[in-house]
Amino acid sequence: MPELIPVSDAADPRLADYVRLRDVELRKSLEAERGLFVAEGEKVIRRAVATGYPVRSVLTTRRWLPGLEDVLGDARVYLVSDEVMEGIAGFAVHRGALASMARLELPSVKTLLGQGPPRRILVLEDLVDHGNVGAIFRCAAALGVEAVILSPRCADPLYRRSVKVSMGAVFAVPYARMANWYDGLAELRALGFQTLALTPDQSVVPIEKVSMGERVALMLGSEGDGLSSRWLHEADHAVCIAMSPAAMDLGVDSLNVVAAAAIACHSLMR
């Protein structure tokens, strides 16, 4: 049974894992230092627990507790009022519960891709928007992509907004972070991956027409600038999503990175 602990003060130091959840820089520092992330809502908390993430503690109100008790084991559960919950988090927590979860050690790229081994993966270069990273993980999970590799500067998939937007898909898709951006693609090639660089350039081959090998890594670039010139140059093939002539006439020559990821993942899994 969980340990139920009523708390009436938003400044109680026992609630330090949950403070100022919208302060990105503070949360990056705090979560890295303590080895934690925050899961929001019953569905996401259940998915985190089911995939092996240990519960450090839970912050909730009495009305939301019954829906979670069966998965919490002997975790500490801080019971607060709605007002205290909002005071701690800095916003109204509509999903009713927050859980501080312990992070698991990430595998190296070589270790992750040597297991299985995965045949179709995504490689994200310098995507810094947490919502976009979460949404891409959701696309990957929905369309059968087997792993995601992050460049060193990519946003954290376990940041609260990433987890929330992904609906817990960040727990379902294995991922690793490159230790070295400069030689990252060379490592993938050494592991037998054909690398495809997705670009809005309509002069390159459409992704649905490229001849794909046994193991394929689809590369997606940052929200503003796209893939770096180094990765574009090093890729085995540059590929695009073919835009309709009518769209091009209207000046719509590309898609946002999440829409592009969804379409490209569908083509990748053919």
pLDDT digits (tens, 9 = 90+) for 82-134: 999 999 988 888 778 999 999 999 999 999 998 778 899 999 999 999 999 99
Task: Return the pLDDT at 247.
Answer: 66
- Rounded Cα–Cα distance for residues 200 and 137 (Å): 21
Tell which wins on pLDDT, 247 or 102.
102
- Rounded Cα–Cα distance for residues 36 and 1 (Å): 22
Residue 253 has pLDDT above 70, yes or no: no
**For residue 198, what are the β-bridge partners?**
239
Domain 109-268 in this protein, CATH class: alpha beta
Task: Return the pLDDT at 252.
Answer: 66
Residue 238 has pLDDT above 90, yes or no: yes
Portions of the chain given CATH number 3.30.1330.30: 3-102
Average pLDDT, the chain: 93
In CATH terms, the superfamily for domain 3-102 is Ribosomal protein L30/S12 (3.30.1330.30)
Task: Return the pLDDT at 144.
Answer: 95
CB-based contact 90:21 (threshold 8 Å): yes
Question: Alpha carbon of 187 to those of 6, 182, 232: distances in Å?
Answer: 51, 10, 16
Task: Return the pLDDT at 250.
Answer: 66
- Is pTM, for the whole model, over 0.85? yes
